[in-house]
Structure 1
Amino acid sequence: MRIAVCDDDERCLNDESVMIAETAAELGLECDVLRFRAPSELIACGEKFDIVFLDVEMEEMSGIEAAEAIHEKSGGTYIFFVTNHEGYMDEALNKHAFRFWVKPINRQRLAYGMESAVREMNSVEKYLKVSVEGKPSRIPMTDIIYACAKNKITSIVTVNGELEVREPFKNVLPRLCADFFCKSHASYCVNMNYVIRYDKENVICRSGGREYTAYMSKRCYGEFSRRFISWAGDHV
């Protein structure tokens, strides 16, 4: 497992990195912990991390902006925000936060959060297996923004573009089994990691600086809202 810690306060960076490495060892996790003083260094390094710990308030770029850039490059990264102020919580939860903590990090909370992340990594079916243009294909679940019915086929909208799967939506839907997927409409299933807002007519998702719109039905609104609030709450 590869873990990144990014904080422009050198003391916090060192203390958190040591605690994370110690906690990982106590949990029996083999991992490399890399330290970054600036978000630009983290983003530019080009490596894919399983978990990233981000300070929210940094001079060069906020942790929330950095999280957006990381998520665009690698949707499967688990983001832990660490900050001095709770006021950023709502914004952070809209930027793919797995956890949001106020400094200093509580060791017990850290252990539980890391265990939860690893459990989720191991339990999630990582790929949607479908046929695209007559060829077997595996689409990373974390790359899927939403799926929808399009006549008798299914459109899969991903961070890398749109794919057409020549199967009915009702056949594809049960295979979107990760807990971050939720139906917003009889013909739409949305990845909650990308949701930035929703109302009784639409769900707005964002990736790569671009917004995507999925339909919301009155019938699905209540359950979607309940699921989204519960899902977001579990990640605080």
Structure 2
Amino acid sequence: MRILICDDDLSITQSLSQIIKTYFNKKKVNNLDIVTFNDGDSLLSDKSQKDIVFLDVEMPGFDGIYVGNELKKQNDSVIIFIVTSYLEYLDAAMRFHVFRYLSKPIDKQRLFQNLDDALELYYSINQKIAVETKYGVTSVLTCDIVYVEAKGRKVIVHTATADLDSTQTLQFWIDHLPQATFFQSQRSYIVNMAMVTSFDHELIYLCDGQFTAYLTRRKFTEFKKAYLMFMESKR
């Protein structure tokens, strides 16, 4: 996991780095790389992996709002924290779906709680699952799965680029896909709510209508609630 901290105040980057190291040591996460920058230009010039980013707003050169927008254009899955003393930037930060807004000075316990949420989101985005087929095993990111469909005796895992005939049961997929992201919309369908474009009382449209899945009428209200909660969690 690669974490980037960008702030022109050296004391803030040092303090954040130490708190983050303490948190991940407690979580026994070892593959951690923390990189610090003192301006947005340098951060944007960095072409390496970016998983979690902590951004100050007022910095020399590009400000944190501009940098955050650019990072989201490059990778919509990047988890961004805005760290600042200026609350007037909150609305601007929310427009590019900042993950959390932290006030200076940093509250260690609040940051730990927010890192719990960030870690859960990170794993849901980067979680891989093994799809067993009669030809072997294919590893896919759960976030790349559009929906899972039981069709007769077959279970098909649909991604945007391939359909995989899984030898695992539909119940396996119900049990192993993250419940915060996936919903069983009908007896034979499990949909990825991150892929939903729209839905009505009978159908769920995914990936701008490239795919459709059935939604039973008795599950419409439950699905609507789950979907709205999912969307709210991404704000």
Q: TM-score, normalised by structure 2?
A: 0.65
Counterparts of 1:116 and 1:178, CA distance in 2: 15
The answer for the alignment partner of 2:60 in structure 1 is none
Are 1:85 and 2:102 an aligned pair?
no
The code of the aligned residue for 1:165 comes to S
The code of the aligned residue for 1:37 comes to G
The answer for the alignment partner of 1:219 in structure 2 is 218
Counterparts of 1:68 and 1:162, CA distance in 2: 28
Are 1:24 and 2:29 an aligned pair?
no
Query: Counterparts in 2 of 1:182-201, with a 5 A limit?
Result: 182-195=183-196, 197-201=198-202
Query: Counterparts in 2 of 1:17-96, with a 5 A limit?
Result: 17-29=13-25, 30-35=32-37, 37=40, 41=45, 45=47, 47-53=48-54, 57-58=65-66, 63=69, 66-67=71-72, 69-71=74-76, 79-80=79-80, 82=82, 84-86=89-91, 89=94, 92=96
DSSP-derived class of the 1:27 partner? helix
Does the 8 Å CA contact 1:188/1:214 hold for their aligned counterparts?
A: no
The answer for the alignment partner of 1:140 in structure 2 is 141
Identity across aligned pairs (percent)?
A: 19
Structure 2 runs not aligned, ≥5 long: 26-31, 58-63, 84-88
Superposed displacement of residue 150, structure 1: 3.5
Alignment CA distance shift 1:52-1:189 (3 Å): farther
The code of the aligned residue for 1:86 comes to D
The code of the aligned residue for 1:109 comes to R
Task: Show CA shifts across 1:134-185 (max 9, x none).
Answer: 2123322233232223443223233553323245534533332453212233
Counterparts of 1:161 and 1:16, CA distance in 2: 45
The code of the aligned residue for 1:80 comes to I
Task: Show CA shifts across 1:97-150 (max 9, x none).
Answer: 6x2427668534333211333356579993333323521233222332322234
Alignment CA distance shift 1:198-1:144 (3 Å): same
The code of the aligned residue for 2:220 comes to Y
The answer for the alignment partner of 1:161 in structure 2 is 162
Alignment CA distance shift 1:126-1:41 (3 Å): same
Alignment CA distance shift 1:79-1:105 (3 Å): farther
RMSD: 4.1
Superposed displacement of residue 3, structure 1: 1.0
Counterparts of 1:157 and 1:146, CA distance in 2: 5
Alignment CA distance shift 1:27-1:135 (3 Å): same
Superposed displacement of residue 24, structure 1: 0.3
Q: TM-score, normalised by structure 1?
A: 0.64
Task: Show CA shifts across 1:63-88 (max 9, x none).
Answer: 2x6435424xxxxx552253923366
DSSP-derived class of the 1:193 partner? helix
